[in-house]
Amino acid sequence: MFLLGKDKYFYLKSMNVLKVDNLTKTYRSGNRELTVLDQVNFEVAIGDTLSIVGPSGSGKTTLLGLCAGLDVASSGSVMLDGSALEKMTEDQRAAVRNQLVGFIFQNFQLLQTLTALENVMVPLELKKRKDAKDKAMELLEKVGLADRLTHYPNQLSGGEQQRVSIARAFANEPKILFADEPTGNLDTETGEMVENLIFQLNEEEGTTLILVTHDLELAARTHQSIHIKGGKLQEAING
């Protein structure tokens, strides 16, 4: 946490890489208040895998966004690798995302104007790694796209795009990886291949994985599962 400066350094010696405390998120539209997340509590240990399941609209994406520091909660706290996200400025959270976090999205979210290789290089370049290109090529090879380096996203199939995005997610060697329905936009076969790839890389790199899905079969592959419904956490199901 050197990035935050000495005064903000309050690393808690703990096994938990993510700790969520009484997390609540309300949206205000007009004069109506909508509580999307209500007093959510859970924690995830380093290297663990967790799935968040629940019906559509239950608040899974909201929860993931808060845990990853993409958004700020209305109340409650998120401790990511020992630091409280809600106490940071937006730029500090950006630094956390760059240093600690990887993302895989439902709709891939590759940068359309960059080639596959360049997309994977971006997180490495942001970290000012001299070996960005080599490392990115290595990762693309791992996901089986060694022959697609100079292709642009719109020249790749959905499965290929998601594999590029997986390579990008692992590029900065994140401590924790967030995936929001990573197979939601893929057919079953491709989806399975992408799943396997995520779990395989996760194991190899020893990353913590937080996975949002409404696919119970996929959820069963994670070590822990939490279930939310209407913004409230149901009892934990251990898989």
Partner 1 sequence: MVDWNWSLLMAKRDLRKTGGRLILFISAIVTGIAALVAVTSFGDNLSNDIDEQAKELLGADLSLRKNQPIEFPEIETQADRRALEVNFASMVYFPKVGESRLTQVRALEGDFPFYGSFETLPVSGETEFRKGAKRALVEKTLMAQFGAVVGDSIKVGNVTLEIVGALQKVPGQNGITATVAPAVYIPNDQLEASGLVQYGSRVNYIHYFQFPEEFDLEALIAEKKDQWDEDKVRHETVQSQKEDTGRSFENLSNFLVLVAFIAVLLGCVGVGSAINVFVKEKLPSVAVLRCLGVRSKEIVAVYLVQIVIMGLFGSLLGAAAGAFLQFLLPMVFSDFLPVEVSVQISWRAVIMGTFTGVLISVLFALIPLLKIRKVSPMMTLRPDDPSAGLGKDPLRWMVLGAIVLFILGFSFYLLEEWDQTFWFTGFVIFAFGSLWLLALGIMKAIRKFLPISLNYPARQALSNLYRPNNQTVSLLATIGLGTAMIGTLFFIQNQLLDEVRFADKEDQPNMLFFDIQSDQVDSMKTVLAEDGLPILQHVPIVTMGLAEVNGLTRNDNEELEDEEQRSNSMYRREFRVTYRDTLIATEELTAGSLIPFEAEGDSIFVSMEEGYAERNRVELGDEVVFNVQGRPLTTYVGSFRKVNFRKVSTNFLVVFPDKVLDNAPKFHVLITRTKNDQESADIQNKMVRQFPNVSVVNLSMIVETLEDILGKISFVIQFMALFSILTGVLVLISSLLISKFQRIRENILLRTIGAGRRVLLKINALEYLFLGSLAAGGGILLSVLAAFLLSRYVFEISFRMEWGPLLIVFVLITLLTVILGWINSLSILKAKTMDILRS
- Residues near partner 1 (CB under 8 A) are 27, 61, 64-65, 68, 70-71, 90-91, 94-99, 101, 103, 105-107, 109-114, 118, 122-123, 125-126, 152, 168, 180
Spatial strand order of the sheet with 75-80 comes to 32-45, 16-29, 75-80, 83-84
Q: Which helix (H) or strand (E) holds 168?
A: helix 158-171
Q: Pick the closer one to Mg ion by CB: 73 or 136.
A: 73
* φ and ψ at residue 8, rounded to 5 degrees: -95, 10
Q: Pick the closer one to partner 1 by CB: 90 or 235.
A: 90
CB of 238 to partner 1, least distance (A): 27
- Distance of alpha carbon 107 from alpha carbon 183, whole angstroms: 9
CB of 78 to partner 1, least distance (A): 14
- Distance of alpha carbon 238 from alpha carbon 224, whole angstroms: 5
Query: Going residue by residue from 48 to 87, which x/- string records binding to ligand ADP, judged by CB under 6 A?
Result: ------x-xxxxxxx-------------------------
| CB-based contact 62:36 (threshold 8 Å) | yes
Instruction: Provide the binding-site residues for ligand ADP, judged by CB under 6 A.
Output: 27, 29, 34, 36, 54, 56-62
